[in-house]
Amino acid sequence: MQATSAGVDLKKRKEAQPPARKMSLRARREAVFGYLFIMPWLLGLLIFTLGPIVVSLYLSMTNYEVVRPPVFNGLENYKFLFQDRLFWQALRVTSIYVFVSVPLGLIFSFAVAMLMNQKLKLLGVWRTIFYVPNLVPVIASSVLWLWLFNPKFGLFNVILASFGIVGPNWLGHTQWALPSLILMSLWSVGGPMLIYLAGLQGIPTDLYEACEIDGAGAWTKFFAVTIPMMTPVIFFNLILGMIASFQTFAQAFVMTEGGPRYATLFYVLYLYQNAFQFFRMGYAAALAWILFIIIFAMTVLVFRSSAAWVYYEGEVRGR
């Protein structure tokens, strides 16, 4: 009897459920047109992004010298990679560059944004001046900085000579080459500056007014209001700056070619040399995947740490 009643209840439930609605002709037509409109993007994603990613993963496990067909060799490229002295040198150079240039860029661009947020004369002109370097192609800016760093007639050494100081051979000395490129990285702070400027202008003014009522000074307002409210923007610029710095290539390629004595052998430059100069495309693909893993791990680490220092407006945190 119980089984019979359960069957009757199940039948009643099925009858009570509304029938599945069929798509109307107009809805189906809209869906078809929607897929047709996004088809170019989907094809581009499959052909020019996902396809090369899959191929590069396969090539990283082959001995591929471009002029000959690839020969599968398993994980031999990855084993050799960790025994390669130049791999570790490239990783060391790139890591130093990232961990020095990114914080300096964040601090300098934030300071410029604070200055550009004040009521100054010709403010639009100054903002344009700071942003213009971002519009200069990286090759052109590298050639410009080659002149600035020239040990004989470069602007930096000329200025130092006016104070009686003999300037160094900026790009020709192992101790000065990498710091020179780090100094050059501050050339393009205009992009992050604009993002900081937008964030600064989005801070509610009533927060500053509340601090003034409590008798807070400029530094208190800066550390109690400005910095916490700007942490999402700092976080955004940190992620973009870190990823871009790990992929630094053109500056070293044009200005130093990795020298002197591999002092500026950036990771992507070494990858390029293996792929297009030494024609070890399989090994270069393995280097690319290691770089992807490093950038992915660093990005995840920064995202995980953001819960401790990134604050969003209206967010309530427990003490």
Cα(261)–Cα(250) distance, rounded to whole angstroms? 18
Q: What angle do the packed helices 155-162 and 138-148 form, to 10 degrees?
A: 30
pTM of the model: 0.87
- Residues 282, 70 contacting (CB under 8 angstroms): yes
Please give the domain boundaries of the chain with CATH numbers for all domains. Answer: 20-77 (no CATH), 79-309 (1.10.3720.10)
Cα(238)–Cα(301) distance, rounded to whole angstroms? 12
Q: What are phi and psi of 167, to 5 degrees?
A: -70, 155
Task: With CA atoms as reference, report the closest residue to 131 among 62, 193, 218, 46.
Answer: 193
pLDDT at residue 8 in the model? 52
| Rounded (5°) CA angle 94-158-127 | 65
pLDDT at residue 119 in the model? 87
pLDDT at residue 318 in the model? 47
The pair of structure tokens assigned to 30 is: 């809209």
State the number of CA atoms in the 13 A half-sphere of 1 facing the CB. Answer: 0
| DSSP-assigned letters across all residues of 240-309 | HHHHHHHT--HHHHHHTTT-STTTT--HHHHHHIIIIIS--HHHHHHHHHHHHHHHHHHHHHHHHHHHHH
Give me the tens of pLDDT residue by residue for the chain, a chain 319 residues long: 445 555 555 555 555 555 556 678 888 889 899 999 999 999 999 999 999 999 999 999 999 998 899 999 999 999 999 999 999 999 999 999 999 999 999 999 999 999 999 988 888 899 999 999 999 999 999 999 999 999 999 999 999 999 999 999 999 999 999 999 999 999 999 999 999 999 999 999 899 999 988 888 889 999 999 999 999 999 999 999 999 999 999 999 999 999 999 999 999 999 999 999 999 999 999 999 999 999 999 999 999 999 999 988 666 554 4
pLDDT at residue 189 in the model? 92
Cα(309)–Cα(200) distance, rounded to whole angstroms? 18
Q: Is the peptide bond before 103 cis (omega within 30 degrees of 0)?
A: no
| Rounded (5°) CA angle 239-185-288 | 55
In angstroms and rounded to an integer, the radius of gyration of the C-alpha atoms of the chain is 28
Cα(251)–Cα(144) distance, rounded to whole angstroms? 11
pLDDT at residue 23 in the model? 72
pLDDT at residue 295 in the model? 97
Q: Going by C-beta distance under 8 Å and a sequence separation of 6 or more, which residues neighbour residue 239? A: 299, 302, 303
